Every structure is written in structure tokens, then in C-alpha cells.
């Protein structure tokens, strides 16, 4: 029997270095979602995608290959970038636009079912 469980939308932030990541995470923080640990490299980001299973990813910096790989593996992932990137769901022209860009994307429908 499957159980309906309500979970927060998980968001993974990816930036070029620790300072940029800290700034991006602060700009992304909102009551509507939960931030996963962030990443500053493609390898770390892919590991977190596998481990944390985020619903959305916010990517600032030249990470076109990461966006492409994640889009290929997880077609429903909502991806916000800071530049026009193939595979992005939305573009935030500044950190101030990140929350609104995430809010504008479709939310996953219905409860998340878990097997006991």
C-alpha cells in the first residue's frame, strides 16, 4: 500500500565558487522549498542530483554541460540559469529574480507516493 507524503520541493544551487554559491543560496532561500547542499563543480552537482533528488536546480555560471546532462537524465527537472542555456526552464537575469523564476515554473502535481 502506498502512502501519500507531503514533502517540500528540493532545490539544488550550483555556482562557480564558494562565495558565489553562498550568495546564490541566500538569494534562493524561501519558505516554499528546501535547499539541498550546493555545488561548485559539475561532478559535485551530479553527485548531489543523484543523492538528494532535487525537483529544481538553480545554476549560475558557465555550466552548460551540467544543464545538458541533467536535462537528459531528468527531463522534468526545473532548471533556472543566469543565461540563455539550452535545456534551461527559465532564465533569472540576476540573483534577485531567482525566487520569482522558481515560483513561475510548474510545481509537481499531487502527493508524493512512498512504498512502506
Residue 8 confidence (pLDDT) = 78
Residue 58 in contact with residue 95, Cβ under 8 Å?
no
Residue 32 confidence (pLDDT) = 86
Average pLDDT over residues 31-51: 94
Residue 111 in contact with residue 13, Cβ under 8 Å?
no
Q: What is the dihedral of CA 93, 96, 101, 107, to 10 degrees?
A: 160
Residue 115 lies in a domain: no
Q: Over 60: is that where the pLDDT of 105 sits?
A: yes
Alpha carbons within 13 angstroms on the beta-carbon side of residue 32 total 12
Q: Could you tell me the residue range of the domain that residue 37 belongs to?
A: 3-108
Residue 35 lies in a domain: yes
Residue 74 lies in a domain: yes
Q: Over the stretch 43-99, which tens digit does the pLDDT of each residue have?
A: 999 999 999 999 999 999 999 999 999 999 999 999 999 999 999 999 998 999 999
Q: Over 50: is that where the pLDDT of 22 sits?
A: yes
What proportion of the chain, given as a percentage, has pLDDT over 90?
75
Distance in angstroms (rounded) separating the CA atoms of residues 26 and 3: 33
Q: Over 60: is that where the pLDDT of 116 sits?
A: no
Q: Residue 70 maps to which CATH number?
A: 3.40.50.2300
Amino acid at each position: 500500500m502506498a502512502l501519500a507524503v507531503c514533502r517540500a520541493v528540493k532545490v539544488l544551487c550550483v555556482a562557480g565558487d564558494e562565495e558565489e554559491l553562498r550568495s546564490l543560496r541566500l538569494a534562493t532561500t524561501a519558505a516554499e522549498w528546501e535547499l539541498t547542499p550546493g555545488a561548485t563543480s559539475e561532478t559535485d552537482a551530479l553527485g548531489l542530483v543523484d543523492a538528494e533528488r532535487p525537483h529544481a536546480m538553480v545554476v549560475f555560471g558557465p555550466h552548460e554541460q551540467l544543464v545538458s546532462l541533467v536535462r537528459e537524465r531528468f527531463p522534468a527537472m526545473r532548471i533556472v540559469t543566469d543565461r540563455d542555456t539550452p535545456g534551461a526552464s527559465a532564465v533569472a537575469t540576476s540573483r534577485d529574480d531567482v525566487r520569482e523564476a522558481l515560483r513561475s515554473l510548474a510545481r509537481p502535481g499531487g502527493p508524493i507516493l512512498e512504498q512502506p
